[in-house]
Amino acid sequence: EKSDEIQALLEKAAAKINQALNECLSAHMMTPRPGSLPALPPAFDLDEPRRPSTDAPGLLDKMLLRSSRMEKEAQELEAQYQQDLVEWNAARDAHEKARSDIDKAIRLAAKGYSAQMERALDYVLSGIAWPKETLLEYEFSHDVSGIALDIDLPDEGDVPNRTAEARGNGKLTFKTRSEAQTRKDFVSLCYGTVFRVVGEVFALLPGIQKCLASGYIQRTDLATGSIGDQYVISALISRDQWETLDFSRLEAIDPGATLKAFGAVVSVDRTSRFREITPMDLATLG
């Protein structure tokens, strides 16, 4: 029985160690299907402050001259309660207003109101828990039927290269993934990230018919030693193309294969390292 407990603890520890890599390799798994709406912020859940209970001075308190001190303490407690109540009401009202504003933005974004499209998209993109730091900028086309996204992808050294396994011998066994495999893992993370971004846009904004997503990474220029941006993926995807995907089977989808099938500009060398590419221009949105 004790050995079972130890094994369970080791398996839990191994899962925690492997979690970061698993998240990198499954960045696309939370991609919403077209037409699904994002979750609103949770309702305000802080408990309302309670009025403090105080005892009125009794005869003994008055005889011992404690009544004035007790009354002062009661007044201070009441004043603190009133201040806490004011702050609680203000926090609740601000939270509910923000929640209502987001709900309104999402509904109006679905109807094509450009200002609300920006607000809703900012809300959705800022709420994604990326496995590694990912930054985004975007621009709508003139007729607001297309969008171009610039994605600052994770760095090449961000992907974990170690895994753990509890083999039943009372110890954790660690493995270091090869450099080649780690490079493949990084490529998979980048494909999954671009896939997720495109999916979020098409799910949230039904008026968007084309999505141009271009991702770049930071690399050192060996000639100068300076660090600069290099684009490595650029994909122009139509809504019609996107809606051919089976979102009930995301685990069966290879984001890299999807992006390539949709005509993505991408080049990976024989060592599984991205080559720099020239991204598609905003004009391709039409």
Domain count, the chain: 1
Pairing status of strand 162-166 against strand 146-152: unpaired
Q: How many CB atoms lie within 10 A of CB 209?
A: 18
Residue 270 is classified by DSSP as T
Closest CA to 196 of 20, 36, 29: 29
Question: Which residues constitute the domain of residue 225?
Answer: 2-285
One-letter amino acid of 259:
L
Mean pLDDT of 31-51: 91
Pairing status of strand 146-152 against strand 210-220: parallel
Sequence-distant (6+) residues with CB within 8 A of 229 are 152, 216, 217, 218
For residues 1 and 140, is the Cβ–Cβ distance under 8 A? no
Tokens coding 246: 């089976």
Give the model confidence (pLDDT) of 65-99 as tens digits. 566 666 777 788 889 889 999 999 999 999 999 99
Give the model confidence (pLDDT) of 101-151 as tens digits. 999 999 999 998 988 999 999 999 999 999 999 999 999 999 999 999 999
Mean pLDDT of 155-167: 90
Q: Is residue 281 scored above 80 in pLDDT?
A: yes
The sign one gets for the Cα dihedral 188, 190, 194, 200 is positive
Tokens coding 164: 């753990």
Q: How many CB atoms lie within 10 A of CB 4?
A: 8
For residue 216, the SS3 value is strand
Among 54-63, 112-121, 175-184, 248-257, whose mean pLDDT is lowest? 54-63
pLDDT interval class at 240 (50, 70, 90) = very high
Q: CA-CA distance, 30 to 255, in Å (whole number)? A: 12
Consecutive H or E run containing 50: none
Mean pLDDT of 2-10: 80
Q: CA-CA distance, 31 to 28, in Å (whole number)? A: 5
For residues 156 and 186, is the Cβ–Cβ distance under 8 A? yes
> Residue 275 burial (CB < 10 Å; 0-12/13-18/19+)?
exposed
The residue with greater pLDDT, 146 or 52, is: 146
Sequence-distant (6+) residues with CB within 8 A of 48 are 85, 88
Tokens coding 192: 């999954």
One-letter amino acid of 183:
R
pLDDT, residue 117, reads 96
Q: CA-CA distance, 157 to 181, in Å (whole number)? A: 12
Cα–Cα distance list, 79 to 66, 67, 91, 116 (Å):
20, 18, 18, 42
pLDDT, residue 77, reads 84
